Amino acid sequence: MGPDSIADLSRPSQHKPRHVELPDHDSTRRLGALLAHQIAPGFVIFLSGDLGAGKTTLVQGFMAALGETGRVRSPTYTLVETYARAGLKINHFDLYRFTSATDWHDAGLADLIDPSAISLIEWPEMAANALPAADLTVRLDRAPGGRLASLFAASQTGQSYLDRLSLDLGTAQVAPQQTVADGCAGGDKNDAPASGPQ
Ligand SMILES: Nc1ncnc2c1ncn2[C@@H]1O[C@H](COP(=O)(O)OP(=O)(O)O)[C@@H](O)[C@H]1O
Ligand SMILES: [Mg+2]
């Protein structure tokens, strides 16, 4: 089982995943920005990886690229944070605290999935088959000196998106770094005061 294999729920296509090395926090933000540059309404991205892998960091870069200037918090406790930016509606879910896949419906989260909204879902494994099918799964693994991102298309839409996606981190248009308090593993320090301007 190498990085090309993934849990069944990601429904990977037959096509090969794409990989990109992320040597530091800023690189993870830049990958998020690249993903945002060509996103379209209705797109569903699963974000896989252990606690501290960089999933929320990636969403912070994604949102910054869409023009979000406020703090992008981990929704570990709120389950979802909703944004409206660049004419898009974005729902950022974190299902880490789920005890059962039925929590997805019980918490009313299924109602947030609609063709006009973009869904970014951390810990999709916690809701297994209750979730809508992903278009793309991004898996983040710890690697020497940083992280390795593996991107798997999981739908036709996801495949054409992945085929077009630039992984040239140097071209990512991402706003200045948010505060350190935004990037905490497990999201259990999200109420820490910001240490600088947002
Ligand atoms: N490519 C990277 N290399 C090294 N550290 C990273 C990288 N990407 C993110 N981090 C760091 O990992 C930590 C956890 O990130 P976070 O996004 O909260 O993880 P997750 O949401 O997966 O639990 C943060 O301190 C962040 O700065
Ligand atoms: Mg997180």
Is 55 a pocket residue for ligand 1 (Cβ < 6 Å)?
yes
Neighbours of 15 (CB within 10 A): 13
At 153 the three-state DSSP class reads: strand
Cα(58)–Cα(74) distance, rounded to whole angstroms?
Answer: 11
In single-letter form, the type of residue at position 52 comes to G
Q: Does the structure show a pLDDT above 90 at 191?
A: no
Per DSSP, what are the bridge partners of residue 139? 48, 150
Q: What is the pLDDT of residue 173?
A: 86
User: What is the Å distance from ligand 1's center to 14 Cα?
Assistant: 29
For residue 53, which atom of ligand 1 is closest to its CA? 22
Nearest CA to ligand 1 atom 10: 25
User: What is the Å distance from ligand 1's center to 53 Cα?
Assistant: 5
Cα(172)–Cα(29) distance, rounded to whole angstroms?
Answer: 9
Q: What is the pLDDT of residue 52?
A: 97
Q: Which ligand is nearest to the CA of 50?
A: 1
Is 139 a pocket residue for ligand 1 (Cβ < 6 Å)?
no
- Spatial contact of 96 and 187, defined as CB atoms under 8 Å apart: yes
pLDDT tens digits, 5-55: 444 444 444 579 999 999 999 999 999 999 999 999 999 999 999 999 999
Q: Does the structure show a pLDDT above 70 at 85?
A: yes
Beta strands in 72-193 (DSSP E): 80-85, 88-94, 117-122, 136-143, 146-153
Where does the pLDDT of residue 176 fall: very low under 50, low under 70, confident under 90, or very high at 90 and above?
low
Q: Which residue has the tokens 């880490």?
A: 96
- Spatial contact of 147 and 140, defined as CB atoms under 8 Å apart: yes
Q: In the sheet that 136-143 helps form, which strands lie side by side, from edge to edge?
A: 18-22, 146-153, 136-143, 44-48, 117-122, 88-94, 80-85
Report all structural domains of the chain as residue ranges with CATH numbers, in order of start: 17-175 (3.40.50.300)
Nearest CA to ligand 1 atom 13: 52
- ∠ Cα 181 187 193 (to 5°): 30
CA distances for 74 relative to 2, 9, 30, 93, 158, angstroms: 28, 23, 18, 9, 25
Nearest CA to ligand 1 atom 8: 25
Is 48 a pocket residue for ligand 1 (Cβ < 6 Å)?
no
For residue 122, which atom of ligand 1 is closest to its CA? 21
Is 53 a pocket residue for ligand 1 (Cβ < 6 Å)?
yes
The residue among 97 and 178 whose pLDDT is bigger is: 97
In this structure, what token pair is assigned to residue 42?
């209705």
In single-letter form, the type of residue at position 85 comes to R
- Mean pLDDT for 63-76 is 96
| Residues shown for the chain | 198
Residue among 53, 13, 14, 9 nearest 31 (CA): 53
